[in-house]
C-alpha cells in the first residue's frame, strides 16, 4: 500500500520540481469550462499550475510544455502510470467493493479486489512505473541534476 502512495507522491514531487524551475513562466493549456462544458485555452503562471493542477495534467501537458518535449500520454509508460495512479487512489479512497467485491453477475467474476492486487502484484513494479515516467522526461531536463536517477534505476534493476 505504502509503495503505491510513495511512488505517486514521487511523481508529484518530480512534476512540481520541473514546474518550479521557472515559476513565472506563462503556460498555455486547454481546460474544460465547468459551467459551459466547452474547452477553452487559458494561460497561467507555472506556480499557479503547480498548486492547482492534477498530476495527470502536469505529466501529460504541463511538464512536456515546460521541457519542450512530447507527452507520455498514449505510450506504455502512461499505461503503467495509470495503473499506479488508480491503485494509489483505491488505497487512499478505499471503498467496500474494492476490499470485498460482491459478485452479482457472471461478468463480475474476474473483478480483482484491492487485496488481491496487493498480494498478486510486485511493489517493485509500482516503483518501476514511477522511475520509467521520470526517465521518459530525463533527456529533456537541463536545469536539474538527475544523477540520483541512475542510482535509483540500478537499485530497481537489482530488485527486479
Three-point CA angle 39, 45, 46, nearest 5°? 100
User: Contact 124/156 with Cβ under 8 angstroms?
Assistant: yes
Give the number of C-alpha atoms closer than 13 A to the C-alpha of residue 89, restricted to the C-beta side.
9
From residue 38, how far is each of 31, 33, 34, 55, 73 by CA, in Å? 8, 5, 8, 22, 22
Q: Which helix or strand (DSSP H or E) is residue 116 part of? A: helix 114-120
Residue 21 CA to residue 112 CA, distance in Å, equals 41
User: Which tens digits make up the pLDDT trace of 85-142?
Assistant: 988 888 888 766 666 656 566 555 455 667 777 777 788 888 889 999 999 999 888 8
Distance of CA 127 to the CA centre of its chain: 11
User: Which tens digits make up the pLDDT trace of 2-39?
Assistant: 888 899 999 999 999 999 888 888 888 888 888 888 99
3-state secondary structure (DSSP) of residue 65: helix
The pLDDT value given to residue 102: 63
The pLDDT value given to residue 75: 96
Rg (CA), the chain: 18
State yes or no: pLDDT of 158 exceeds 70. yes
Residue 129: other Cβ atoms inside 10 A: 24
Amino acid at each position: 500500500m505504502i509503495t503505491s502512495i510513495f511512488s505517486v507522491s514521487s511523481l508529484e514531487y518530480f512534476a512540481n520540481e520541473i514546474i518550479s524551475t521557472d515559476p513565472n513562466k506563462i503556460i498555455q493549456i486547454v481546460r474544460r469550462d465547468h459551467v459551459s462544458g466547452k474547452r477553452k485555452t487559458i494561460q497561467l503562471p507555472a506556480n499557479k499550475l503547480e498548486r492547482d493542477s492534477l498530476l495527470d495534467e502536469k505529466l501529460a501537458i504541463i511538464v512536456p510544455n515546460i521541457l519542450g518535449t512530447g507527452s507520455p500520454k498514449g505510450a506504455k509508460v502512461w499505461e503503467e502510470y495509470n495503473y499506479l495512479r488508480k491503485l494509489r487512489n483505491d488505497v487512499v479512497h478505499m471503498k467496500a467493493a474494492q476490499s470485498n467485491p460482491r459478485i452479482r453477475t457472471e461478468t463480475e467474476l474476474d473483478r480483482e479486489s484491492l487485496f488481491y492486487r496487493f498480494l498478486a502484484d510486485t511493489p517493485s513494479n509500482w516503483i518501476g512505473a514511477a522511475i520509467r515516467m521520470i526517465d521518459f522526461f530525463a533527456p529533456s531536463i537541463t536545469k536539474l541534476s538527475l544523477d540520483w536517477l541512475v542510482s535509483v534505476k540500478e537499485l530497481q534493476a537489482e530488485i527486479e
